[in-house]
Amino acid sequence: MSTTRNTSQLHEGRTLVLGGTGKTGSRVARGLKAKGIPVRIGSRSASPPFDWNNEAGWDACLQEIEAVYINYAPDLAMPGATDSIQAFVDCARQHGVRRLVLLSGRGEAEAQACERIVQESGLVWTIVRASWFYQNFSEGAFVEMVHAGQITLPTGDTPEPFVDVDDIADVAVAALSEPGHAGEVYEVTGPRLMTFADVAAELSNATGREISYLQIPHASFIDGVKKSGAPKDVVWMLDYLFASVLDGRNAYLADGIARALGRPPKDFTAYAREVASTGLWQAAVEE
């Protein structure tokens, strides 16, 4: 596929961004608004509120919506996700939605089942298939480990092509606002494979202080997550991801960002330097 794209706006209709206050959703919403596309945020705190567990409230959210960014929380691998995606797609179709962009997971059979629901919807669709985010270390589950100076996870030496959430959002915005992305499955990765030990070394270089990596037993990690008071669905998701997805199945690079945007993905080094320059990782150490 040519990397030269017609960047004229695809539509003027309102786009519903599910998970619109989260890592990818907030960025997708900002990107669409910057293009002058009206956005409705889909979250429990929005008006009207959106909740995956309250199907009765979906109708109000889908009124006068032309396109939807589907970001299922906490993860498409969760039991019941396929039922929720099917019900939502059916509801969207009934409301006249024309276009769906689904954030999916690499190497997750359950996520691929959800992809098929979107692909067989009869609507225009694009799949953005991602895995581990850079931002997990600055906005997510691992930021406190960075603050503490030690990343303790049950990951071993299996490499992953971590990807920047900004890149994911840029792909989704393009698919929602520009022609040329219909029927595409964009598997998005960063430009290189990295182990968690590699990540720790990069973070050490960016922050100027030692951040180590310590491999711990899977059972010990999950026990610690439970004791931290994490919700049951988060415990289940982390158990699944570390037990299954980090087995090497995703240890390869993909060209989704280049195909969608005509440019290479951001490298982890650039991400780490940008975050370090804000003082986010240093502040907790100095307190």
Q: How confident is the model at residue 12 (pLDDT cuts 50, 70, 90)?
A: low
What does the mean pLDDT of the chain come to?
93
**pTM score of the predicted model:** 0.93
Q: Where are the domains of the chain?
A: 14-133+163-190+250-266
Cis omega (within 30 of 0) for bond into 265:
no
Positive or negative, the Cα torsion across 93, 95, 96, 98? negative
Q: Mean pLDDT across the stretch 135-156? A: 93
Q: Tell me the two tokens of residue 200.
A: 């720790």
Mean pLDDT score, 11-38: 94
Q: Is the domain covering 14-133+163-190+250-266 a CATH 3.30.70.100 domain?
A: no
49 neighbors 56 (Cβ within 8 angstroms): no
193-241 per-position pLDDT tens digit: 999 999 999 999 999 999 999 999 999 999 988 998 888 888 888 888 8
Q: What is the mean pLDDT of residues 136-163?
A: 93
